[in-house]
Amino acid sequence: MAPRSSNTSKKPNKKESSKKKLSSSSQTQPRRNTSKTEPNHHQDHLNLSTTIPLTLQQLLLNVFKTALLTNGHNYLHNREETKKNDNDESGATTADSAEQQQEQQQLDIKSLIQTIKTHLYNRDFDSAFTDANEDLLRAYALRWSSSRALGYAGIFRALLREVVKPVSDHTAAAATTSTNNVVCIGGGAGAEIVALAAAWRDFLDGAELRFSSARDEDQIADAVEAVSLDDGKEEEGSKEAVKQPTSTTTSTTTTTTYPGLSVTAVDIADWSKVVERLSTAIQSPTVTGSKSHPAPLLPSNKDEEKKTPSFSVGFEKLDVLSTGEKELQGLFSRQEAESCSTVLVTLMFTLNELFSTSMAKATGFLLRMTDMLRPGTVLLVVDSPGSYSTLKLGKGGDGEVRERQYPMKFLLDHTLLSVAEGKWERLMSEDSRWWRRDAARLRYDVGEGAGLEDMRFQVHVYRRVGE
């Protein structure tokens, strides 16, 4: 979503003034139905202090550059054609001509970003997003989504280990068709999509190492167990030491796996072309990679040689504050796909905007979502530190409109832990946290005014519990 000021907001709905749950007497902390020690336990478990490797971060940035900078339908192939021309024996003339042609095919980033900033300064969000053309949306994603994706990757790295579980031996065959779904509210600009792809790559790489290590440990343990302490059975025990580990290792290798991962980006603006470009580049080998993290970022689902769990991306143009029950239900629980279950819902720099648009509707959305999510589903909220939303309380005796500001964190806790008491537990909460890029080693040359930035944010994680 757009970077907006945390203390300026759209006018909330008039119905909010009668909302008794947010009266002046309700500014105390919402009730908790979990113990005080529980959040600290989970917070230690969700380690956000580490992120994905630097070479994988660079590959993430290269996906943005390849997908969004170049115009036309052949944006994935222009890099290879330019490289071929650069190596042509015909000399520098051909290479210079190709370079000039390449520059003409790229977005005018400086001008587009200035236009976006003007719209944001004037709080004209319709012109910046809802009514924006594809070039403007691509420029926004190149400028802001790339930096945010770097910051998000470490968060998703920790959460994937929480929500994605290996399939047990007796259901391993079903893993090839089952999918874990992540719903990203306000995720049309692509930061969540590419960050999840990078975190998924890191997760699968780590899983392969973990399985390999576990296989070696099982092999050693089985060999030791097979050795008989009885001298009379020494020969028989030796044979078992050779045979048994092989069977166990084969079983571990063929049956331990993970379901696929699907990402559904939801946004009020039409980001479909941007999402399509990014999802294509994620699975394209033409993106520049490295020896330790070669392209593609993730293999294509059509690549039969790759046996890794699938990764897919979808986009829904939807206003979650006003959409009908059936449409909202379809986001979180796809009845036509029993093998697909939502395990994670994200609101990244989005929730405070929803509260600012209409506190009543945003609260209603959170409560409707609560009723639709299965126990075990994790909710991730990331936003600007110190975000506030303003609630109008009606006119006072002097005729002036009275207003009260509420911290976004308070509104979130009040809704999930008090109004929906007993349905959520808080896994972690931090009011302010920094993600800082490696400015010396990361390269991202996409045009003037589109450099990378560090990210300061607040983060809150909840898990749906059974009633």
The predicted-structure confidence for 280-328, as pLDDT tens digits, reads as follows: 999 999 999 999 999 999 998 877 666 788 999 999 999 999 999 999 9
Find the helix or strand (DSSP H, E) in which 312 lies. Answer: strand 311-317
- pLDDT for residue 13 is more than 90: no
pLDDT at 118: 97
**161 vs 467, more confident:** 161
**466 vs 138, more confident:** 138
Sign of dihedral through CA atoms 317, 322, 326, 331? positive
pLDDT at 382: 98
Name which of 152, 156, 193 is nearest 275 in CA terms. 193
Q: 3-state class of 167 per DSSP? A: strand
Percent of the chain whose pLDDT exceeds 70: 69
- Per-residue pLDDT of 59-86, as tens digits, reads 999 999 999 999 987 788 655 444 444 4
The answer to which of 281-290, 296-305, 379-388, 417-426 has the lowest mean pLDDT is 296-305
- Whole-number average pLDDT of the chain: 80
pLDDT at 307: 72
Q: Token digits for 466?
A: 């059974």
- pLDDT for residue 129 is more than 60: yes
pLDDT at 76: 80
The answer to which of 141-145, 240-244, 310-314, 434-438 has the lowest mean pLDDT is 240-244
Mean pLDDT of 221-233: 52
Decide the pairing of beta strands 260-267 and 179-185.
parallel
- pLDDT for residue 445 is more than 90: yes
Q: Residue 410: how many CA atoms within 13 Å on its side-chain side?
A: 18
Angle at 241 between CA 238 and CA 243, to 5 degrees: 110
CA–CA distance, 413 with 419 (Å, rounded to integer): 9
Residues whose CB is less than 8 angstroms from the CB of residue 115 and which lie 6 or more positions away in sequence, other chains included: 136
Q: Where are the domains of the chain?
A: 14-69+107-211+261-464
pLDDT at 81: 46
Query: CATH for 14-69+107-211+261-464?
Result: 3.40.50.150
- pLDDT for residue 368 is more than 60: yes
